Structure 1
Amino acid sequence: MKKLKRYQYERYAVLCKLAYPKIFDHVELGFADNGHVAIKNRQGHVVVRILWHDNKKEVIVVFRGSQVLSDWLTNVCCLPKRKRFGKTVYYIHYGYDRLLNQKIAGPKSADEAVSIYQQIERVLAPLIAQGKRVSLTGHSSGGAMAILTADWLARRFDSPVRRVVTFGQPSTGFRSFNKHYLLHRRTYRICCDLDIITFLPPLPGIFVHVGRNLWLHNERIYENIRPSVRLYKTLTSWLVSPISYHYMHKYIRNKDFFDKH
Structure 2
Amino acid sequence: MSTNRKSLAIALVCAVWLAGCPAAKKPAPKPDQGTKPKPVVPEPLPAAVASFDELATPPAQGDRIRWKTVLTLATLANISYDEAPDQVAHASVLGTNVVVRPLSKESSEGFVAADERAVVISFRGTKGLADIVTDIKGLAKDQFGGHVHSGFSKALDVIYDDAAEAAIGLGARSKTVWITGHSLGGALATAFTLKALKEEGISVHGIVTFGQPLVMSENLCGFLHDTFNDRYLRIVNQTDPITRLIPKYRHAGARAQLTDDGNYEWRPPGVAPTGPASEAQHRRRGRLPEGRVVDIEPKSELELMSEDEMRELDRQVRQAHRVTRKRSARRAPPEAVGAWDPLTYHYMDGYIEKIRALCNRPSDRPSAVGDADKLGQQTEIPKP
Give the TM-score normalised by structure 1.
0.71
Matches within 5 A, 1:159-238: 160-181=203-224, 182-201=227-246, 203=247, 206-217=248-259, 218-224=261-267, 227=297, 229=299, 231=301
Q: Deviations over 1:103-143 (max 9, x none)?
A: xxxxxxxxxxxxx11112212234233x1121011000100
Does the CA contact (< 8 Å) of 1:82 and 1:90 recur in 2? yes
Contact 1:192 1:215 in 2 (8 A): yes
Q: Write the mapping of 1:139-154 to structure 2, written as runs, cut at 5 A.
A: 139-154=182-197
Within a 5 Å distance, the mapping from 1:1-261 to structure 2 comes to 2=61, 3-22=64-83, 23-24=86-87, 25=89, 26-30=91-95, 32=97, 35-42=99-106, 47-53=109-115, 55-56=116-117, 58-68=118-128, 72=132, 75-84=135-144, 89-102=145-158, 116-126=159-169, 127-129=171-173, 131-157=174-200, 160-181=203-224, 182-201=227-246, 203=247, 206-217=248-259, 218-224=261-267, 227=297, 229=299, 231=301
**Contact 1:63-1:145 at 8 Å conserved across structures:** yes
CA distance in 2, matches of 1:61, 1:159: 11
Return the alpha-carbon distance in structure 1 between the equivalents of residues 105 and 154 of structure 2.
12
Structure 1 residues 31 and 160, CA, compared in 2 at 3 Å: closer, same or farther? farther
Q: Which amino acid is 2:69 matched to?
A: Q
Q: Contact 1:184–1:212 (CA<8 Å) still a contact in 2?
A: yes
Deviation at 1:212, TM superposition (A): 0.8
Q: Is the 8 A contact 1:61 1:135 kept in 2?
A: yes
Unmatched 5+ residue regions in structure 2? 1-59, 269-295, 303-356, 358-384
User: Share of identical aligned residues, percent?
Assistant: 22
AA paired with 1:17? N
> Is the 8 Å Cα contact of residues 181 and 210 (structure 2) preserved in structure 1?
yes
Alpha carbons 1:60, 1:136 under 8 Å: kept: yes
* Structure 1 residue 91 displacement after superposition: 0.8
Q: Distance in 1 between matches of 2:203 and 2:211?
A: 24
Partners of 2:167 and 2:202 lie apart in 1 by 13
Alignment root-mean-square deviation, CA = 2.8
Q: Secondary structure at the match of 2:65?
A: coil
Q: Distance in 2 between matches of 1:231 and 1:73?
A: 18
Whether the 8 Å contact between 2:121 and 2:167 is mirrored in structure 1 is no
Instruction: Compare the two structures and name the one with the higher strand fraction.
Output: 1
Paired residue secondary structure (1:173): coil
Aligned-residue offset at 1:144: 0.7
The higher radius of gyration belongs to 2
Structure 1 alignment gaps of length 5 or more: 103-115, 233-252, 254-261
Residues 68 and 221 of structure 1, relative CA distance in 2, 3 Å threshold: same
Letter of the 2:143 partner, please give it: K
- SS where residue 128 of structure 1 aligns? coil
Higher relative contact order (CA 8 A, sep 6+): 2
Deviation larger for 155-164 or 11-20: 155-164
Superposition TM-score, scaled by structure 2 size: 0.49
CA distance 1:62–1:159, change in 2 (3 Å): closer
CA apart distance, 1:222: 1.4
* Letter matched to residue 93 of structure 1: H
Deviation at 1:179, TM superposition (A): 2.6
Partners of 2:208 and 2:140 in 1: how far apart? 24
Alpha carbons of 1:77 and 1:195: their partners in 2 closer, same or farther (altered >3 Å)? Answer: closer
The aligned amino acid for 1:50 is V
Q: Is the 8 A contact 1:81 1:92 kept in 2?
A: yes
What are the Cα deviations for residues 11-31 of structure 1, in whole angstroms up to 9, with x where unaligned?
A: 111112222122221322325
- Helix, strand or coil at the partner of 1:72: helix
